[in-house]
Amino acid sequence: MKLPPETPLPAPRTDGQIEVRYAVKVEWTEDIADMETVRRLAPFHLWQDSEIEKRFQYDDKQGVSLAFVRASRLSESFVFPDSPKFGGCRSWITLPDLPAEIRHEEVLSENTHREREAALRAVLAGR
């Protein structure tokens, strides 16, 4: 996956700590077994077609899973020790609990977020 050039990546830490600046919450998911629907989702992700096709046929049950998420910026960086349990090829990991003083600040307004959700649901409905 290639990020747009205007998306700078943070420099890796050298002190054995992990720093998190953003959080996401999964609002809903859907399994998609129709490749044409997957192709129509191109405006909503950064993956190359070849990678999507490879993942579509990853195992006996063809398809991909879609997760609609709500992103938020943390009011301050969340820093915690790195651990081997965070490494390797993992889809999901459990992070330490966020300290109570760190607040979530939504990246998109509620209206913009819901407009994107409606556009995505329209694609899924074949419209």
- Rounded distance, CA 50 to CA 31, Å? 19
The residues pairing with 78 across neighbouring beta strands, listed in sequence order, are 20
- Taking all residues of the chain, what is their mean pLDDT, rounded to a whole number? 88
Region 40-54 average pLDDT: 86
Task: Give 7-46 pLDDT, tens digit per residue.
Answer: 677 788 899 999 999 999 999 999 998 889 988 998 888 8
φ, ψ for residue 115 (rounded to 5)?
-65, -40
- Here the tokens at position 99 are 């300290």
Burial class of residue 7 in the structure, from the number of CB atoms within 10 Å of its CB (0-12 exposed, 13-18 middle, 19+ buried): exposed
